[in-house]
Amino acid sequence: MEVILKTNNLTKVYGVRKVVDGVNMTIKKGEIYGFIGKNGAGKTTFMRMILSLTSVTKGEVELFGGKKIEEVGCKIGSLIEAPGLYKNATAYENLKRFSILYGADESKINEILKFVNLDKTGKKKAKDFSLGMRQRLGIAIALLGEPEFLVLDEPINGLDPKGIKEIRDVILKLNKEKGITFLISSHLLDELSKVVTRYGIIDNGVLLEEISSEKLIENCKNKLIIKTNDNKKAKKLIEKEYDITDIDDEDDTIVLYSNLDDSADINKFLIDKGIKVSEIYTKVDSLEDYFIRRIGE
């Protein structure tokens, strides 16, 4: 399968701080790649580097099988941070002005507006659009050059549920009907999970993991939650008695990721050892639980 984006040890340093630290990312044709991280984790800086909007301190960016952005820039569309719009112009007028700037085909404007569901906005000015409509107009502008790869930075940030669904529907439609590959950054993992096929998790500039959506769901496994009057002692007793290493002491609870079928035996064992058990139950990790655990918080 064709590789759309490959970065090799991509690094950005501001002063003494590594904002992006040796990132090796691979995105293949047809993927919707979710770039996940807290605010300030390095997502936007990474995106700006691959688009040549920010200089690279160290490392390489390869696009469409090893080419430089100067060779394939016409195949890439982007929406980084808030879209820059002509606020006193309609959706159609915005696209017409940007098509002149980009040298794009004006005959495609109506088709693009229909694709992002803005074809019925008429004479309504962009300044009167909802945030979700402005985001869709930003995506429409990014589509003017008929790109094969779209880079979207926090496209659902600040949107209400209706706006989030509208952006999600546009992304899925573009991916399925146009075959467009996506790199989408966000810190809203549960929302991204409805469209993403593969994830990259970044923290403090370091790409911690690349993982498929199927594997991530598999990793969001059941766990046994135990609350006692002496968690430290209870944890040591369980580890010794059941030879368990997959056990954590989180806040005021003990968490086991194995031996879930032994919950009744563990409960009785702790009581017999003089430990008071106030709660014991199983729970399934959400995707956000996995993300928080992965970045060590």
Q: Are residues 266 and 127 in the same domain?
A: no
- Cβ atoms of residues 259 and 157 within 8 Å: no
How many domains does the chain divide into?
2
Whether 209 and 230 map to the same domain: the answer is no
Shared domain check, 210 and 229: no
Do 264 and 144 belong together in one domain?
Answer: no
Is the predicted pLDDT of residue 81 greater than 90, yes or no? no
Mean pLDDT of 132-155: 92
Residues 265 and 191 in one domain: no
Verify that 268 and 164 share a domain, yes or no.
Answer: no
| Mean pLDDT confidence for 38-49 | 93
Instruction: Give 297's pLDDT tier (boundaries 50, 70, 90).
Output: low
What DSSP string describes 30-86?
T-EEEEE--TTSSHHHHHHHHTTSS--SEEEEEETTTB-HHHHGGGEEEE-SS----
d(CA 46, CA 18): 11
- What secondary structure letter does DSSP report for 125? B
The domain boundary, picked from 217, 247, 271, lies at: 217
Residue with tokens 């005959």: 107
**Are residue 33 and residue 92 in the same domain, yes or no?**
yes
What is the mean predicted confidence (pLDDT) over 128-138?
91
What is the band of 251 on the pLDDT scale with cuts at 50, 70, 90?
low
pLDDT tens-digit series, residues 21-38: 999 999 999 999 999 988
User: Could you tell me if 193 and 148 lie in one domain?
Assistant: yes
Q: Which of 171, 191, 217 is the last residue of a domain?
A: 217
CATH of the domain at 32: 3.40.50.300
Task: Extract long-range pairs of 123-129: CB within 8 Å, 24+ residues apart.
Answer: 123/90, 124/90, 124/91, 125/87, 125/88, 125/89, 125/90, 126/85, 126/86, 126/87, 126/88, 126/89, 126/90, 126/91, 126/94, 127/87, 127/88, 129/91
Give the residue, 288 or 18, on which the prediction is more confident: 18
pLDDT band at residue 184, thresholds of 50, 70 and 90? very high
Strands lying side by side in the sheet with 222-228:
247-250, 253-256, 222-228, 277-284
130, 10: one domain: yes
173 and 268 belong to one structural domain = no
Q: Cα–Cα–Cα angle for 130, 140, 160, nearest 5°?
A: 30
pLDDT of residue 249: 76
pTM: 0.79
Q: Does residue 272 share a domain with residue 168?
A: no
Domain span at residue 90 reads 3-217
Verify that 165 and 228 share a domain, yes or no.
no
Asked whether residue 2 carries a pLDDT value surpassing 80, the answer given is yes
Question: For the ranges 11-20, 120-129, 245-254, which has the lowest average pLDDT?
Answer: 245-254
CATH code, domain with 248: 3.30.70
Domain boundary among 217, 252, 283: 217
